[in-house]
Every structure is written in C-alpha cells, then in structure tokens.
Amino acid sequence: MRKAKKIKLPEMFRPLMWSYRFSEIDAESDKRVIIVNAINYGDLPHWRWLVNYYGRAALKAMLSDIPFSEFRPGAIKLMGLFLGFNKLNYASRSDYIQGRRTFVCLGQI
C-alpha cells in the first residue's frame, strides 16, 4: 500500500506554527491547527492561501465545527467579513473537550 504524500505548507506559515515542527506539518491532516492559527495570527496572504487551498465552501464547513472559543474576537469579525460567514459553533471550549473525550472513550470500547 502506498503512503499518502505529505503536502507541505508555504514557508510564510512558519511563524504562525512556531510551537509545531514545521517540517512535519501536513496541510491535510493538520488542517484544523493550520486554519485556527492562520485566522488568529495570520495576515491577508495566509487567509487567501486557506481559501485557495481548501476552498471557500469547505473552509466555511470546517469553521462551523470549530468552537467559537478557539478564535480571537477580532479575528472572528474579520473572518465573517472575509468569508461571508455569520454562524459559528458557540460551544464553550470545555464542552468541546468533553465531547472529544467522550468520542475517544467510546471509540476505544
């Protein structure tokens, strides 16, 4: 079986991903982290890359699954203007974490 080829991020993302091993980040498998960091700390070129790579509709769908608390308040407003997005998942971070723990625990049975 062939191993899927890892898709590298452009070098401009390196400062946004300072707490990760940049060489090991994959644009597909790590898209949630990439999206959250780019929206919170990125500039217009980062946002454009997200739209060009993932697509506007797919990006909106992914954002609807990420808790509101993951984003900085100013970033949420800009994101809404840039993407024409007005609904976010308003679950608190603790609700999200609790849901993930439940999912993981049930998946291990």
pLDDT at 106: 37
16 assigned to some structural domain:
yes
pLDDT at 88: 60
In the chain, how many domains are there? 1
> What pTM was estimated for this model as a whole?
0.73
36 assigned to some structural domain:
yes
Indicate if the pLDDT at residue 22 is higher than 80: yes
Q: What is the pLDDT of residues 65-104, one digit of tens each?
A: 888 788 888 888 888 888 887 666 555 555 545 554 433 3
Question: Residue 102 has which token pair?
Answer: 């439940």
pLDDT at 103: 37
Question: Residue 2 has which token pair?
Answer: 């062939």
Question: Within 13 Å, how many C-alpha atoms sit on residue 44's CB side?
Answer: 2
Q: Could you list the residue range(s) of the whole structural domain that residue 95 is in? A: 11-107
pLDDT at 109: 36
What backbone phi and psi angles, to 5 degrees, belong to 67? -60, 140
Alpha-carbon distances, residue 50 vs 7, 23, 34, 40, 76 (angstroms): 13, 18, 9, 13, 15
